[in-house]
Structure formats: C-alpha cells, structure tokens
Structure 1
C-alpha cells in the first residue's frame, strides 16, 4: 500500500509516521503532485495557524490538487479544518470539501481545549470497533460546526463536529496518532477503507 502524508510545512508529521509504522505501514512524506496522485491513501495533517498553512498550500498548488483527489484522504486537526469552507482563524477561505465553517471557542471555556474528550454519535466505517463515548486527544482553539457531514460529535461547552466525512474525504479534529489504542484503531480503519 502506498500511503502519502502531504508535506506542506504545517504538520506534526513524525508522530503520524511513527503511528503508521507501528501498524506496519511506511508513510512517505511528499508535496509532489505525481506522488500524491499515485498514493492509495493520503493523510492531510496540520498543526499551526490556518492562514499561513493555506498560503503554503497555494504556493505549492496543493490547494487545487487536494479537493480533486479520488482516493481516501484523512485530514487531521488543522488538516480537517482546512478542508472546510471557511475558518475564523485569520479569516481564511478553506478548500470547500466539507460544507461547514470553523469557529473559535468562546471565552466561556479554556482555550485551547487541550487533553482528552469523548467522541459520540459515531457514524462511519472510520469508527469500526470503537464504542460511543471513547476518549480522544485534542489540542485546538477552533472547531467545526455540526453539519450533515458530521460523523462524530464532541462537547466542549457545546457540541461540535469532531469528525467529518464526505465521499472519499474524512476529517478528524482529534489526534489519532496521540490517542492510544482507540486512535490507532481509527488509523487502522482508515487503512482498511
């Protein structure tokens, strides 16, 4: 299996690579369109600030390539957020794959949300073998609004989309690579899609 992690300078790429290595899969880092198009599965990671990340995607032309991908794509954290229509972070237009927007948590809660929280209302093969209410590890100040593409919900003062799916695109707000056995199961399920 050819697994490519999109390398655009905005990711916690090493921990994702190690997580797949534990599952017996070598993940190749690449920002070369031909290598991305030739992959069986693609990881779209992201840590950092949305407008800078989007600028890096535009500079490499990946902003045009990513929404056209036909194989399974998994956006993680900022990667998921960039697949949405718009984010309040830096007033940034996203890639428009998921028909929802990214909002900032209100000041009524500690921002960023850092630590373990539950995922509920699970609705995808991405969550095969995972029970409703399992804990995942999250670090974020912005969240995806609930929409028809929501496949898991997390509550942090209010409900938000902790995972999204549309066609071959999947997105998770949590970090599966840092979420112990349950997170590893999500990555394993993604490989088996």
Structure 2
C-alpha cells in the first residue's frame, strides 16, 4: 500500500517500476484526500523548488503531508521540499525535516553534481541497514541539505552534504534510489520494511 504522490514535478514511472521490481504495487495518487488511505508514501520531484512548492501548496498537498503519520519519503527535490527552506527560489518548504537546503559549493567541480558517489553512514537507522562504506548511488542535483543531527548518511562533492535524512515518520534521499542499481534497491526495501 505505497502511494506515489504525483505533483506534476517528477518522472514517477521510474520510481513506480523500482517498487514493482520489489514485488510492490504502488499507486500514483493525484488528490491529497487519497494520501491517508496508504501505509507509506513517496514524494518524488525534479525541477525548480519554487515551482514544485507552489504546486504542493496550491493543490492542497501541504496539509495532507503535515497530517500524515506513516512513513513518507522524499526523493531528490522531494527530499528538499520536506526541509525547512531552500535557497533555490528562496522559498519556505514543508518543514518536516529540520535544516536548510543550500546551493552546493562545488569549487572547481562541475555543477550540477551528476553521477555516482560514495555514501558515508553517520547514524544507524532502519533506512541504512545493509549499507557499506564503498556503496555508491546516483545523483543529479545542485542544491543539498546541510549536514545536521537528522543526517543519517552523507556524501561529498566539493563539500559534505546530506544523502539520507530522517525525522519522525519523514525521510529523504537526495540521490535517486530508483536509478542506483543494487544499492538503491536495498534502500527502497529498507523503506518498505521501516516500522515506526
């Protein structure tokens, strides 16, 4: 009973197919009223934060996500929207994950950060089960959550940033687990298995 929230700001098919490969039958939902009927939910997202946040608010998703008390995970931009604020468009976000999203300070590296990168586990959590020091995941982003006490896993690209965060029933993965081969599959299974 997994809901994939369709905000119009993501390619949701790749996320849906990833869960189907794990034997799940996720439902893409388009109405906030549907959310309460599901055991867990995914908030995917790509594109510009201010556009995506406006769609969430205008379509009534903010209240539904605030009231949701089961596991809910944001992916990529979806993770950033769960945080307090973002420098991308200087907008207030959903405020479910403590911390700010800021532009990556990549130095001489190219931006956006695109490609495979290592994970570094900072805190043990059901979402980090089975991760190893040499595991890599696939990123496409130029903004990231600043490392703080809700950071479970970090990565480094010009600076250290949050790869996985969690607070209460809300979590986020900055990378794309649905495009991250066996490691991504393991992480999605961890989300399926996550009991509050």
| 1:107 to partner: Cα distance | 5.4
Residue aligned with 1:18, SS: helix
- 2:158 aligns with 157
Cα 1:69/1:84, change in 2 over 3 Å: same
- 2:34 aligns with 35
Query: Partners of 2:65 and 2:94 in 1: how far apart?
Result: 8
Unaligned runs of 5+ residues in structure 2 are: none
Unaligned runs of 5+ residues in structure 1 are: none
- 2:84 aligns with 85
- 1:131 aligns with 132
Task: After TM superposition, list the pairs within 5 Å mapping 1:37-52 onto structure 2.
Answer: 37-52=36-51
Q: In the alignment, is the contact (CA less than 8 A) between 2:106 and 2:159 conserved in 1? A: no
Superposition TM-score, scaled by structure 1 size: 0.96
- 2:115 aligns with 115
Query: Partners of 2:94 and 2:60 in 1: how far apart?
Result: 12
Q: In the alignment, is the contact (CA less than 8 A) between 1:83 and 1:97 conserved in 2? A: yes
Query: Partners of 1:122 and 1:29 in 2: how far apart?
Result: 32
Higher mean alpha-carbon deviation, 13-22 vs 114-123, is at 114-123
Superposition TM-score, scaled by structure 2 size: 0.95
* Corresponding position: 1:19 with 2:18: yes
Residue aligned with 1:11, SS: coil
